[in-house]
Amino acid sequence: MTGNPNSELWRVAGVRARQGPVWNFSVAAGAAAWIPDSDDDGLDWLDWLLGLTTPPEGAVHWQGRDWQAYSPDAASAARGTIGCVLTTGGALANLDMDENVWLPARIHRRPGAAAEIETWARRFRCWPLPARRPAVVRERERQRLLWTRAFAGRPLALVLERPLRNMPEEDRRLFLAAVADVRAAGCAVIWLEETLAEDVRAALAPLTVITPEPA
């Protein structure tokens, strides 16, 4: 178990794919965990942790309940407490980047969203938000905007899927400092990536490496 056992957020029980090994772990508020994640291992951790799909075997619980036990509305509300950064970016091509950043706040009707978004956008040096389609926004700026979307709203947890891919050293330091700050405030972090760079390991310490049970 990672973090404070009295504030468990995720519990993964008996998860298995492709006749592979079995995964059992939990992550609590303020904890940091790394799951060595490969694109071809058959493990769809991002979707499973968010309750978007169901693992072939086993169950994923969020705040004490199997995701499958949530009603659609309750599941949507629960996902609104989890910030995500995706390898694929996650920006909707038919919305301007400012609309993409605002989308979760509008879906979940978050009070104080404007101030939160501005605070994080300034911290990630992407304020004012650009009213331009994702395709015409530079990759570096687009990634900073998607960081803003993930951190705004005071999430209970962050799921970070290769969030620093192709980002320069300056931006890495900016992002990792932000991660440390939200963890200090009780936000849990799950990092999904094949290998973990030394600067990430240092920033996430104390860090739990999640591995499957021995066969």
Q: What is the pLDDT of residues 114-127, one digit of tens each?
A: 999 999 999 999 99
Q: What is the pLDDT of residues 19-53, one digit of tens each?
A: 889 999 999 999 999 999 876 677 899 999 999 99
Tell me the β-bridge partners of 190. 33, 159
The pLDDT confidence band at residue 4, using thresholds 50, 70 and 90, is low
pLDDT at residue 5 in the model:
44
How large is the average pLDDT for residues 189-208?
96
Map out the domains of the chain with their CATH numbers.
1-81+156-215 (3.40.50.300), 89-154 (no CATH)
Find where tokens 């300034």 sit.
122
* Percent of the chain surpassing pLDDT 70: 95
82 and 159 Cβ atoms separated by less than 8 Å: yes
The pLDDT confidence band at residue 145, using thresholds 50, 70 and 90, is very high
* Percent of the chain surpassing pLDDT 90: 87
Q: How far apart are CA 205 and CA 95, in angstroms?
A: 37
pLDDT at residue 38 in the model:
73
pLDDT at residue 118 in the model:
98
The residues near 174 (Cβ < 8 Å, ≥ 6 apart) are 123, 124, 125
Q: How far apart are CA 186 and CA 180, in angstroms?
A: 10
pLDDT, mean over the chain: 94
